Amino acid sequence: MPHSPAFTVWFTGLPQSGKSTLADLLAYELREVRGLSALEILDGDVIRTELSRGLGFSREDRDENIRRIAFVCKVLTRAGVPNIVAAVSPYREAREQARASIGRFVEVYCAATADQCADRDYKGNYAKAKAGEIAHFTGVDDPYEPPASPELTLDTVGRSPEDCLAEIMQKLESLGYLTPAGGAGGGGGGDQAYSADEEAEVASRLESLGYM
């Protein structure tokens, strides 16, 4: 499938704001529907156990974690491999440094309050943090700095994941990173047609992530 040079989509937001869910859906859309088989997804939880093992949750360690992720994204992007990041990345300065380093950078802010995220927290981490069982938890006793001017701000509580995905795809098309599907032109909702098998796969992924 024709497309412009590679890019990084960077999902940021509080824990349980929908970052991993949307990253997973976007990866499926790009690979299975748009044919971008050379695609990498970097999830914050996985990075913590692999690339950033040993780092803590001080501001310095958090910034170093983001620097490492950004370095990988820069290498992948410049090698022509699109990639998707889902990481809390709580500090604005670190995200802006990632943007400057990577270049072709699409910041997607998953906008949800700490209370809204706590309500959907199937892991129970917000409750543990409020009880003092987890320290330095973003949204409870550590700050989160929302982006000043992200490419996209998504209401991940008031809108379905599918609606959010459609807006992300439209943004990637408008930025020239993807060729519009079907050549229909113009954006309305629901222009991405899924087969029954694809819809079942998406539903299965959402359920496995605790979204359904």
Catalytic residues: 89
Altogether, the residues listed in the chain come to a count of 212
State the residue for tokens 């992948």. 76
Do the Cβ atoms of 108 and 99 come closer than 8 Å? Answer: no
Residues with Cβ < 8 Å from 211, sequence gap 6 or more? 18, 21, 161
Residue 141, Cβ neighbours under 10 Å: how many?
12
Q: Is 179 exposed, middle or buried (0-12, 13-18, 19+ CB in 10 A)?
A: middle
For residue 77, the tally of other CB atoms under 10 A from its CB is 21
CA–CA separation, 132 and 110 (whole Å) = 26
In the block, residue with structure tokens 């899924």? 194
Q: Which amino acid is at 53?
A: R
